[in-house]
Amino acid sequence: MSKQANIRLPDETYERLQVLAARTGRTATYYIREAIEAQLDDLEDIYLAEQVLADIRAGREKTITMDEMSRRLGLDD
């Protein structure tokens, strides 16, 4: 199931989107969805990384050295 959302775009962005859709034969909705999904992946990664960094700084998350990781993975040969 999909949900509908309304957004406001600056005139220039809207026009660029319309031109792209017309030139490629795809809908503006297609490109909006593609852009959101791509950006959302990046935003989720950034948010999770910031959370882990905050946990490390607060002592709630432990780190290990590269040498220890190599030993654990059996790469220290």
pLDDT classification of 1: cutoffs 50, 70, 90: confident
pLDDT at 64 over 90: yes
Burial 14-38 (b: 16+ CB within 10 A, else e): eeebeeebeeeeeeeeebeeeeeee
For 20-37, write each residue's pLDDT tens digit: 999 999 999 999 999 999
Return d(Cα 28, Cα 14) in angstroms, integer.
9
Q: Any idea where the domains of the chain sit in the sequence?
A: 11-72
pLDDT classification of 2: cutoffs 50, 70, 90: confident
Return d(Cα 25, Cα 47) in angstroms, integer.
35
Q: What percent of the chain has pLDDT over 90?
A: 95
Instruction: Specify whether the CB–CB gap between 21 and 30 falls below 8 A.
Output: yes
Q: What is the pLDDT of residue 28?
A: 96
Q: What is the pLDDT of residue 76?
A: 78
